[in-house]
């Protein structure tokens, strides 16, 4: 008889223990069959297209110049009124000042990151088409391989920047730089220090 009582007590304690471990039902909880299915996580947003980058909307030539950290400028050997080279090898003149102003607007050091090449008239065209210079000051766009920007100065005739015609965006960017030089007074300062000091009358366009 005592064994049956002990067994009944143990059985009752087990039932009570199981009831105590179950969490109380949440208020207003839906039965399992009425609960909404879990939603899948939202897919990650696609990265922006490379074609949308404004950095791609620029001249390949300017991108190459910035990567190289050097602007290669052709100047005419037969135009001492616009450019000269002294005994120490330093270039001076209006074309030199314009080239340095353009270099600064490109993001280069105008005194250290511009390289001038003094060219005879017979080599002007080939220097541009062969890529030996990025731009030529005072040249003419007399073939389909060349394009003219400007004029950047007008004396008794206009002088143009000459570039390769295969970079359609370079001309527009150089023209914006020339316009900015006129607007902010850089062109006038270059003129006053060179052509103006020599008594040469000139206008920006």
Task: Say which residues have a Cβ less than 8 Å from residue 99's Cβ, sequence separation at least 6.
Answer: 71, 73, 75, 114, 116, 135, 137
Q: Is residue 166 part of a domain?
A: yes
Q: What is the CATH number of the domain that holds 183?
A: 3.40.190.10
Per-residue pLDDT at 190: 98
Neighbours of 84 (CB within 10 A): 17
In sequence order, the 6+-apart residues with CB closer than 8 A to the CB of 93 are 80, 81, 82, 83, 84, 194
Q: Is residue 169 part of a domain?
A: yes
Q: Which residue has the higher pLDDT, 99 or 40?
A: 99
Residue 133 lies in a domain: yes
- 116 in a domain, yes or no? yes
Three-class secondary structure of residue 20 per DSSP? helix
Total domains in the chain come to 1
- The residue to which tokens 């062109």 are assigned: 187
Output the pTM of the full model: 0.72
Predicted local distance difference test score (pLDDT) of residue 156 = 87
Range of the domain at 173: 57-193
Domain assignment of residue 14, yes or no: no
**Phi-psi category of residue 28: left, alpha or beta, with phi > 0 → left and psi -120 to 50 → alpha:** left
How buried is 43 (Cβ within 10 angstroms: 0-12 exposed, 13-18 middle, 19+ buried)?
Answer: exposed
Neighbours of 185 (CB within 10 A): 10
Residue 112 lies in a domain: yes
Q: Give the model confidence (pLDDT) of 154-185 as tens digits.
A: 998 899 999 999 998 999 999 999 999 999 99
Cα separation, 205 vs 47, whole angstroms: 46
In a domain, 3, yes or no: no
Please tell me the predicted confidence (pLDDT) of residue 202. 97
Is residue 71 a contact partner of residue 106, using CB atoms and an 8 Å limit? yes
The CA radius of gyration of the chain, in Å to the nearest whole number, is 39
52 lies in some domain = no
């Amino acid at each position: 008889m005592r064994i049956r009582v002990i067994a009944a007590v143990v059985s009752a304690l087990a039932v009570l223990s199981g009831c105590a471990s179950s969490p109380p039902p949440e208020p207003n909880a839906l039965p399992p069959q009425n609960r909404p299915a879990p939603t899948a996580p939202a897919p990650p947003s696609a990265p922006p297209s490379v074609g949308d980058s404004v950095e791609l909307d620029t001249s390949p030539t300017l991108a190459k110049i910035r990567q190289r950290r050097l602007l290669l400028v052709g100047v005419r050997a037969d135009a001492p009124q616009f450019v000269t080279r002294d005994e120490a090898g330093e270039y001076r003149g209006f074309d030199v000042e314009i080239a340095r102003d353009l270099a600064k607007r490109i993001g280069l050091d105008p005194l250290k990151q511009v390289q001038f090449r003094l060219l005879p008239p017979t080599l002007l065209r080939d220097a541009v088409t062969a890529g030996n210079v990025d731009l030529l000051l005072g040249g003419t766009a007399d073939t389909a391989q060349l394009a003219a920007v400007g004029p950047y100065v007008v004396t008794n005739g206009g002088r143009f920047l000459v570039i390769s015609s295969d970079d359609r965006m370079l001309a527009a960017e150089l023209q914006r730089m020339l316009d900015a030089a006129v607007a902010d007074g850089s062109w006038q300062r270059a003129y006053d220090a060179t052509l103006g000091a020599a008594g040469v009358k000139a206008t920006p366009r």
